[in-house]
């Protein structure tokens, strides 16, 4: 999908790096398999059909991002299994806060 968003700020880019590299796929995390490498998925506005922002992003493995049982394959089935966009975003934000709290002051 071509982005209708401006380039991410440094803070947004840092967050997206943390979620994809350090936290990993949120769906796998829910399945008690944390740390699976992930791609950044931008949540989509139901009103406009466009990406919301670089802050409204969740990490998904290729399987759960674009595979047959993915958020792009069947949003409804994905949400039934893993939760709403709002729930997933709140979980990712919680994990980011924990990760950043655990890394403050590290060199």
Q: Read off the pLDDT of residues 49-92 as tens digits, 9 standing for 90 and up.
A: 888 888 999 999 999 999 988 999 999 999 999 999 999 999 99
Closest to 89 in 3D by CA, of 1, 16, 14, 21: 16
Going by pLDDT thresholds of 50, 70 and 90, the confidence category of residue 101 is confident
The mean predicted confidence, pLDDT, of the chain is 89
Rounded Cα distance between 93 and 107, Å, is 23
pTM of the model: 0.86
Q: Which residue has the higher pLDDT, 80 or 104?
A: 80
Q: What is the pLDDT of residue 93?
A: 95
Calculate the alpha carbon distances from 51 to 30, 43, 44, 54, 57 in Å.
Answer: 24, 6, 4, 8, 9
Secondary structure (DSSP) of 10-40: HHHHHHHHIIIIII--HHHHHTT-TT---EE
Going by pLDDT thresholds of 50, 70 and 90, the confidence category of residue 103 is low
């Amino acid at each position: 999908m071509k982005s209708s968003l401006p380039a991410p700020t440094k803070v947004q880019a840092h967050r997206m790096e943390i979620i994809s590299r350090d936290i990993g796929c949120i769906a796998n995390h829910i399945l008690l398999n944390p740390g699976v490498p992930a791609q950044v998925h931008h949540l989509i506005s139901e009103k406009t059909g466009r990406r919301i922002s670089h802050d409204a992003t969740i990490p998904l493995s290729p399987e759960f991002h674009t595979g047959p049982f993915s958020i792009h394959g069947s949003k409804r089935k994905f949400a039934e299994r893993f939760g709403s966009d709002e729930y997933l975003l709140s979980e990712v934000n919680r994990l980011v806060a924990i990760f950043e709290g655990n890394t403050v002051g590290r060199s």
